[in-house]
Amino acid sequence: MLGPSTVTAEEIRAHTHKAFVRVGEEFVVSILVDITESPVNALEGRITFPDKVLSVAAIHDGNSSINLWIKKPHLDENQIVFAGITPGGFVGIGKHLFSIVFVAEEAGMASIDVQSSQIRAHNGQATIIQHTARSATLEIAHGDSSERKEVFVDTEPPEDFVPIIANDPNVFGGDWFIVFQTQDKGLGIDRYMIKEGKWSRYRVAESPYHLQNQSRDVDIYITALDVAGNERYVVVLGETKSSNWMVVSVIVLGVGALLSWCVRRRLF
């Protein structure tokens, strides 16, 4: 965070178009970053808010300047935590990280604050970038709002993606795991689902995912679902399928040869 004598234009800010809402009303707060000097490639922080006055209806990380989330923005004990990187780095004013849809629960003043934020330079040494953090403040009044809900439209599925199967002695005891990540240019990715084998059941998964089937002889289906319910799925084919078919073929040929031998010997 910024010391009192430091002058910098770099900033993480909570931004909302509204200064005044009524109880029951939804409103959006965008978390933006201004990077005016050298490019940066890693950010983290947490967003705090008065949890008696506000509740979180949704978090949208679509079209984010962050490419890879280490901690996808999520609610954790009445605060929203996030961390992510952008390989190659970025600069710019008002770069979008994610948005929070709040619901006003009680009358009063509400301040949405950026806390413990870190920005790292894209210079290979991860130099800490001095910056300011700006809050969004608004007033919540009693009374019924005529604009209660924010309407979001997202009809595009997440981007296509290519999972990678790998192993490493330092992860999952050297077992095979799969990594996957994609982006959604609409509201953002909601979750990933994975199943190993055509007839198994989907389960919610995070990358890296420890494969249950270490023989890797089944197809792996991964579905990325966005917040609006649009989905993109990819299939990673099992590697040893050809050898399975060879085994089956050898068995069939063997049985065929046995039957032929039996017929010739008039054993039937």
Q: Which residues contribute to the site for other proteins (CB under 8 A)? A: 37-39, 41-44, 62-63, 65, 67-68, 70-71, 83, 85-92, 96, 118, 120-126, 156-157, 159-162, 164, 166, 168, 170-172, 177, 179-181, 183, 185-186, 207-208
Q: Provide the minimum distance between the beta carbon of 221 and other proteins in the complex, in angstroms, as a whole number.
A: 18
Q: Provide the minimum distance between the beta carbon of 119 and other proteins in the complex, in angstroms, as a whole number.
A: 9
Identify which of residues 76 and 159 has a Cβ nearer to other proteins in the complex. 159
Q: Provide the minimum distance between the beta carbon of 117 and other proteins in the complex, in angstroms, as a whole number.
A: 11
Identify which of residues 25 and 226 has a Cβ nearer to other proteins in the complex. 226
Identify which of residues 3 and 169 has a Cβ nearer to other proteins in the complex. 169
Q: Provide the minimum distance between the beta carbon of 50 and other proteins in the complex, in angstroms, as a whole number.
A: 27
Identify which of residues 89 and 238 has a Cβ nearer to other proteins in the complex. 89
Q: Provide the minimum distance between the beta carbon of 70 and other proteins in the complex, in angstroms, as a whole number.
A: 5
Q: What is the Cα–Cα distance from 139 to 147, expressed in whole angstroms?
A: 16
Identify which of residues 1 and 258 has a Cβ nearer to other proteins in the complex. 1
Identify which of residues 165 and 193 has a Cβ nearer to other proteins in the complex. 165
* Lookup: tokens for 6: 């430091």
Q: Provide the minimum distance between the beta carbon of 68 and other proteins in the complex, in angstroms, as a whole number.
A: 6
Would you list the DSSP string of the chain? Answer: ---TT-----EEEEE-S-SEEETT-EEEEEEEEEEEEEEEEEEEEEEE--TTTEEEEEEE-TT-S-SEEEEEEEE-SSEEEEEEEEEEEEEEEEEEEEEEEEEE-SSEEEEEEEEEEEEEESSSS-PBPP-EEE-EEEEEESS--S---------PPPPP---EEEEETTEEEEEEEEE-----SSS-EEEEEEEESTTS--EEE-SSEE-S-TT--S-EEEEEEETTS-EEEEEE--TTHHHHHHHHHHHHHHHHHHHHHHHHTT--
